Structure 1
Amino acid sequence: MQYVSTRDVSTSYMASQAIIQGLAPDGGLMTPFYIPKLPGKALEDLKSMSYQHRAVYIMKQFLEEFSVKELTDFAAAAYGPEKFDTPAVAPVRSLDGNTHCLELWHGPTCAFKDMALQMLPHLLTASLTKREEEKTVCILVATSGDTGKGALEGFKDVPHTRIMVFYPRDGVSQVQELQMVTQEGNNVGVTAVRGNFDDAQSGVKRLFSDGELRRTLADRGFFFSSANSINWGRVLPQIVYYISAYCDLLRDEKIAPGQTINVCVPTGNFGNILAAYYAREMGVPIGKLICASNSNNVLTDFIRTGVYDRKRPFHNTMSPSMDILISSNLERLLFALTQDTQEVKQYMEQLNASGRYEVRKPILERLQKLFQGYCCDDRETQRVIGEVYRQHDYLIDPHTAVAFSALDQYRKESGDDTPCVVVSTASPFKFCDNVLGALGVTEVAQGLDALDQLSAKTGLPAPAPLSSLRNKEIRFTRTVEKENMVDAVLSMLV
């Protein structure tokens, strides 16, 4: 399997090179030259397998350099009982006959990023060995909330790596921030940025493209890579859980073999729903891909009009991991829809120069055959949390609530009652204040005491990784202007 840049197919890369580099040299995203099809009986064979074995089977289709034994060892380490609190790893919870919730928050940081970020360090360190790379890799991460902690936990004390995470100072929940600033490990760093997530993400991209900085770090024995979803090693493990969810529904006889399902995904940087698209391309019978956004509804507008315009007010919402106006992974979808790197490059140049681009009508038509976009504000988000809890005795976080709202809007608009998998991306205990408010609580406890309050209200135990934050020391307190992120990197890499 060869990988190419979304902006230039003249140079191809092995999987190990794509994973190490993260971003292509021309600024594009590394993408498989083609998406392999699952063999005819694959879904039937996979339905009786464990999650770990499913991961090996699926990832092997894209990773020819890696042996089955390597991938088996990686999957056992990434998704074992010491990491995840359920043997199912990514269980599917059925709310009714046509609505199923894919829970992706049973890992060590209680968010869906664990599904990829527990695997990525194994893929990256093995890739370094395969390429005989002697320098230490510095992982740069911009986070809107969950990627940061997931990456820090995944790369903590991994040999020959350093990791620096940047997050928007006032753009993450209290629990998310506490998870990051108390992170243990001798190779980790965390810095707050004055600004929003797009400022942090744009700053990281500038660091990647700074030739003088790369030369300085090379002289010190370092080079950059990424753990954001711009890295193919992040997207690939996400494909697994969509295929796994379909297999679970087959195994439990919730759907018939070959039956079509829809998928509804709360979406920010577009990597999660992109993985569902790739699962569909591999042969999983997925019909509509329902893209759910909060008040930062740039993707909703794009899907409906073909115009991507980030020049709009930025909203800090109760679903902060989706507070994004530049959805980087959309570039990979544009490459898939156009099959034209020059067209993709032109769109990205327009976005960088003017903050806006508009795709051609044939591309919009292809997009709309696959995707539907819906959005909701915080008031609707909170209403849905309460409604789902009352109707189904099922507690969801604000991001998942945005997805449930989008699904309801889609079903009312289309009349389509196809079975749907709603992706649940975080534990509700990461957002206690907003969840408690949705349940009618008017006086919310401060700090981590809200965990106990939500537990008492619902009878559900708070996840151990969150409860244990009480006993952890705050290690990182630095805040920088977005223009000074380079100083944080240089001070760490000495």
Structure 2
Amino acid sequence: MKYVSTRGQVSPIGFIDAVLMGLADDGGLLVPEQLPKLSEDLLKKWQKLSYPELALEVFSLYVNEEIPRADLKKLVDDSYSTFRHEDVTPVRRLDDGRYVLELFHGPTFAFKDIALQFLGNLYSYISGKTNSIIHILGATSGDTGASAIEGVRGKEGIRICILHPHQKVSKVQELQMTTVDDANVLNLSVEGTFDDCQRIIKELFADVEFKHRYHLRAINSINIARILAQAVYYFYAYFRLADQGISEKVHFSVPTGNFGDIFAGYLAKRMGLPIDRLILATNENNILARFVQDGVYQPGEFRGTHSPSMDIQVASNFERYLYYLCGENSQAVTSFMARFKAEGRIDIIGDALKQVQADFGAYSVGNEECLDTISEYHEKYGYLLDPHTACGAAASDKLTPPGEVTVVLSTAHPAKFDEAIQLRHIHQTYPEQIQALFGMPQFQRVVGGTNEEIKKELLTFF
């Protein structure tokens, strides 16, 4: 298995080099040169596997034996031994048509742990095997930062710097990042939005000379290992429904802002997992929903919402989907992205738009609708949703046909977003790990949102 850039200017590279490169050196994103096609018989065999066993099989398809199977198994087992539930990502039934895939049982109570526990261990493994320096640079709209820090804190040969938008993440998200006082961790609170943080990251990685000189590595979902890790739980959830005799007309509703989580589902479907429909749920920052509905990819006005991890206008993984939409034509992708940089929009029309609408349903959830959904599910099912999962549930309720089944991806524990929960006068008890964060000293630096200021901090830290 080799990896190529969506823009076609990087020679095919192996798995470890793809992980280390992160953002492709030509400014594109790395994708597998060919996707494996899974037979129905193989899927039936996989249905019997535990979550770590399933993850091992999926990763084995993409690692191409660059990591010996015994070493890969240890990386997987170590990564998922930190989860609080034996199923890692359990599926909860609410009624005949509604299921919730709980992705928040990792160390930081967010779905990002599923990929970042593995990626943190993988970086540590690569550093030890190659005696190389790894400097991780990432941006977060809230959950990625805490999960990434938890994955690598205190590990030899690795330093990590995380950018988050100043005062635009929840209090628990901020505390999970900034109460860490390990010497290899730097938190920068950036004056601006997440899109500003993400832009800085991409531009610093696009400076290839700077990237190589300072050994910069990516932790965001621009790193292909993140996407591969997230694809696993689509298989696992589908198999748990199949255990109950449900195997047709299964949809997944995915709250998304950066297009990474739903792209992982798209990848699983292209590999052969018989998902019927992927429902893309956004909040009022609805560039992705507008794209699916109208074929126009164009940032709108930024809106702060009750689901801050989805307060994103420019989705970093969109280019990967565009690559497949264009028939894996890197020249077409390069042309589209150049137009986006120059004009601030991409237009998809005709048969291509029909394909988008065949691949995805989409729904944009308003702020009050998000809170209404939290109240409704709490009253009707006795189940408390965080505001991001509530967006997925609202979209599912709008777009799932009667008699069919949708699995809503639950991306975070509701305790991480108590500010929104309290608006509906719902009381919840914090898990002890989260309660312990309050009152702890915080370690962060507030900086301006320019490349120069971030570079200055990095040079001091690295």
Normalised by the shorter chain, which TM-score bucket?
Answer: over 0.9
Segments of structure 1 that go 5 or more residues without pairing to the other structure are 442-452, 456-461
Rounded Cα–Cα distance in structure 2 between residues aligned with 1:11 and 1:477: 39
- Which residue identity does 1:375 align to in structure 2? S
Does residue 166 in structure 1 map to residue 163 in structure 2? Answer: yes
Corresponding residue number in structure 2 for 1:67: 68
State the shift of 1:158 in Å: 2.1
State the shift of 1:425 in Å: 0.1
State the shift of 1:489 in Å: 1.0
State the shift of 1:174 in Å: 1.1
Deviations along 1:234-268, whole A, 9 cap, x unmatched?
Answer: 111000011011111122x1514xx2311100011
Q: Secondary structure at the match of 2:273?
A: coil
Match of 1:482 among 443, 447, 450: 450
Moved more, 116-125 or 386-395: 116-125
Deviations along 1:127-147, whole A, 9 cap, x unmatched?
Answer: 4566x3x44111110100100
Match of 1:367 among 334, 356, 359: 356
1:328-367 equivalences under 5 Å are: 328-338=316-326, 339-367=328-356
Does residue 280 in structure 1 map to residue 279 in structure 2? Answer: no
Rounded Cα–Cα distance in structure 1 between residues aligned with 2:155 and 2:402: 47
1:115-134 equivalences under 5 Å are: 115-128=114-127, 132=130, 134=131
Does residue 327 in structure 1 map to residue 323 in structure 2? Answer: no
CA contact (8 A) 1:302 1:308 kept: yes
Deviations along 1:2-49, whole A, 9 cap, x unmatched?
Answer: 100000066101011000110110011110011112233223222222
Does residue 157 in structure 1 map to residue 158 in structure 2? Answer: no
Rounded Cα–Cα distance in structure 2 between residues aligned with 1:46 and 1:184: 41
CA contact (8 A) 1:16 1:128 kept: no
Rounded Cα–Cα distance in structure 2 between residues aligned with 1:10 and 1:154: 29
CA contact (8 A) 2:196 2:449 kept: no
Does residue 466 in structure 1 map to residue 440 in structure 2? Answer: no
CA contact (8 A) 1:104 1:111 kept: yes
1:192-203 equivalences under 5 Å are: 192-203=189-200
Corresponding residue number in structure 2 for 1:248: 240
Equivalences, count: 459
1:72-471 equivalences under 5 Å are: 72-80=73-81, 83-128=82-127, 132=130, 134-211=131-208, 213-214=210-211, 218=213, 222-251=214-243, 253-256=244-247, 259-310=248-299, 312-338=300-326, 339-411=328-400, 415=401, 417-438=403-424, 440=425, 453-455=427-429, 462-470=430-438
Rounded Cα–Cα distance in structure 2 between residues aligned with 1:328 and 1:243: 24
Q: Secondary structure at the match of 1:61?
A: helix
Does residue 491 in structure 1 map to residue 460 in structure 2? Answer: yes
Segments of structure 2 that go 5 or more residues without pairing to the other structure are none
Rounded Cα–Cα distance in structure 1 between residues aligned with 2:211 and 2:101: 40
State the shift of 1:471 in Å: 5.6
Corresponding residue number in structure 2 for 1:444: none
Rounded Cα–Cα distance in structure 1 between residues aligned with 2:240 and 2:151: 26
Rounded Cα–Cα distance in structure 2 between residues aligned with 1:285 and 1:464: 39
Label 1:62 to 1:274 Cα distance change in 2 as closer, same or farther (>3 A). Answer: same
Label 1:129 to 1:336 Cα distance change in 2 as closer, same or farther (>3 A). Answer: farther
- Which residue identity does 2:105 align to in structure 1? H
Q: What is the CA RMSD across the aligned residues, in angstroms?
A: 1.6
Deviations along 1:379-430, whole A, 9 cap, x unmatched?
Answer: 000000000011111011000000111111213xxx3542111000000000
- Which residue identity does 2:153 align to in structure 1? K
CA contact (8 A) 2:139 2:197 kept: yes
Rounded Cα–Cα distance in structure 2 between residues aligned with 1:32 and 1:89: 26
Rounded Cα–Cα distance in structure 2 between residues aligned with 1:326 and 1:272: 15
With normalisation by structure 2, the TM-score equals 0.96
CA contact (8 A) 2:3 2:12 kept: yes
- Which residue identity does 2:310 align to in structure 1? M
